[in-house]
Amino acid sequence: MTLRRYVSPRGPHSAETKVEGSRFIADLFPAVSEEEAKAHLASVRKRYFDATHHCYAYAIGAGPETVRYSDDGEPNGTAGLKIHSVLRSRTISDAVCIVTRYFGGTKLGVGGLGRAYSDAAAAAVDGAAMFDKGVLARLRVAYTYDHTNAVMNTVQSRSLRIAGTEYDAERTMLTLLVPPDDVDAVMQRLVDATRGAAECERQGESAVAL
């Protein structure tokens, strides 16, 4: 399994397009949970309370693990799916894109409407600052004080990230972030470096900025 990578917006970004009198206002936000995505949606609906539609798509996680989209009353497949396609084509996750429409009096047809929502979402996405994310495995390592140098030499030589450190009366517990493909090799290296004293346990995965 290779390192799973994607990009996320650094902050909110908006763009507006017009088609045949209709205004399409696209708002892109970072969102690392459904609750956060829904909060942004509620905020946009409140801000543009008199708009005709608030269509959206969000993707959360590295799969992405959670995807939702809505046409909000527009013809099926003309809005939410188009917005999501923009996120997917650019490998964007941990993000929500909301496209608000003010109807201008001219119907655009199914094809025209789909292009309008897609173009609006693309305008917001393409103008936003992004940063890279990747999914790393969490590896918990427990060791006694006399093996500190051996463990830290391994951490430094493999350029591993330390996500957390805990102590008790006898041991140090490090949580390391390791490329998934390297977990077995890192565990073996730690065991060898401490002559079998280090206790290693894989504890799931985390998405982190690269």
Give Cβ neighbours of residue 198 (< 8 Å, ≥ 6 apart): 141, 142, 143, 147, 151, 190, 191
pLDDT of residue 2: 63
CATH of range 5-128; options 3.30.420.40, 3.40.50.920, 3.90.76.10, 3.30.230.30: 3.30.230.30
pLDDT in tens, the chain (210 residues): 567 899 999 999 999 999 999 999 999 999 999 999 999 999 999 999 999 999 999 999 887 789 999 999 999 999 999 999 999 999 999 999 999 999 999 999 999 999 999 999 999 999 999 999 999 999 999 999 999 999 999 999 999 999 999 999 899 999 999 999 999 999 999 999 999 999 999 998 888 998
**Domains 5-128 and 135-209 alike in fold:** no
Sign of the four-CA dihedral 191, 193, 198, 200: negative
Quick one: fold of 135-209?
A: Alpha-Beta Plaits (3.30.70)
Estimate to the nearest angstrom the gap between the alpha carbon of 177 and the chain centroid.
17
Instruction: Give the count of beta carbons closer than 10 Å to the beta carbon of residue 68.
Output: 16
pTM over 0.75, yes/no: yes
The DSSP-derived string for the chain is -PPPEEEEESS-EEEEEEETTEEEEEEEEE-SSHHHHHHHHHHHHHHTTT-SEEEEEEEETTTTSEEEEE-TTSSTTSSHHHHHHHHHHTTB-SEEEEEEEE--S---HHHHHHHHHHHHHHHHHHTS-EEEEEEEEEEEEEEEGGGHHHHHHHHHHTTPEEEEEEE-SSEEEEEEEE-GGGHHHHHHHHHHHTTT--EEEEEEEEEEE-
Boundaries of every domain in the chain? 5-128, 135-209
Q: Do 145 and 181 contact (CB within 8 A), yes or no?
A: no
